[in-house]
Structures are given as C-alpha cells and as structure tokens.
Structure 1
Amino acid sequence: MGDRWHVDVDRGVCIGSGMCAATAPDHFRLDTARQSHPSTPETDATDPVLAAAESCPVEAIIITLAGGGKAVFPPEEG
C-alpha cells in the first residue's frame, strides 16, 4: 500500500494562477474568487499532485504525510 497525503492550500498565499488546476484537474479546483482548493484533503500520493505543488508560483500548496504530518512539499529545510 502506498503513502497517503494530506493536501492543503494556504489561501492567504494563493494568487489564483490556476497552475494547480491545469496540472492536476482531478485534484484541484478554483472557486469563484480564483482561490485554489484540493478536491479532497486526503489523497493517494501521486505524481500529478506533487507536480501541481511544484508548479505553484508562490508555493501555496502544502503536502504532508497523512496521519504523521511529515512535510512532503515544500520540503523541510535542514
């Protein structure tokens, strides 16, 4: 069984570029204010979700391991 991720978007940082929704449309959507939301806050670890986080120009997407909270993206420094 693979990892599960908790996906969150910091809407105070999100600028509504739509890169996440374009990169992983099954996992992200923009609301009427052009703020990103994960389609489901917990998901299987997948390349499209990670690619969406990496494509965000302001790193507003936060991915952690579900149940453990260890950072997946952005990676912890150190």
Structure 2
Amino acid sequence: PPRYRYMFPFMIVGDWLGSYKIINKTELALSRMSKRTSLPPESNFAKETLITNYNLYENYFFDFMPQIIEMVENKFDIKIY
C-alpha cells in the first residue's frame, strides 16, 4: 500500500525478512507490529505458539512455498530458481 512505501528502504537495509528466521527477531517484529498497527498486543502468545507449533508451520511453508514460486514464475514470466 502507498502509505507503507516509505518503510521499504528500512526493511531492506535492516534485512527484516532475513531476520525472521531467528525466533527472537520474529518476536521483536511481532511486538513492534502490535504497537504500530491494529494488531492486538499478543506478541508473547504468538511467540509461544510459533515455538510450540514450529514443525507444523515449517511443513506448511515447505508445502506452500513451491506453489507461490510457481505462480510468480508463471505470472511474471521469470525463473526464480
């Protein structure tokens, strides 16, 4: 969305997406989002849920990500891998 475009340079410089592979960084991101958005302040609950269900979420990711890659490659006529 246009109102968030100003955030993109900070996200790139700070490697926000790359930092999400570390649980502590993900918790920090959830905490920040709960302060800056309409999300409820439940970052501790979200962290515990992530830790408890990590293997399940990881399986979902590896099942779903190839579908996303295929869709993007087809839609934009590019090769990601």
The question of a shared fold, defined as TM-score above 0.5 by the shorter chain, is answered with: no
The structure in which a higher percent of residues are helix is 2
Q: Which has the larger radius of gyration?
A: 2
The structure in which a higher percent of residues are strand is 1
Larger RCO (alpha carbons 8 Å, 6+ apart): 1
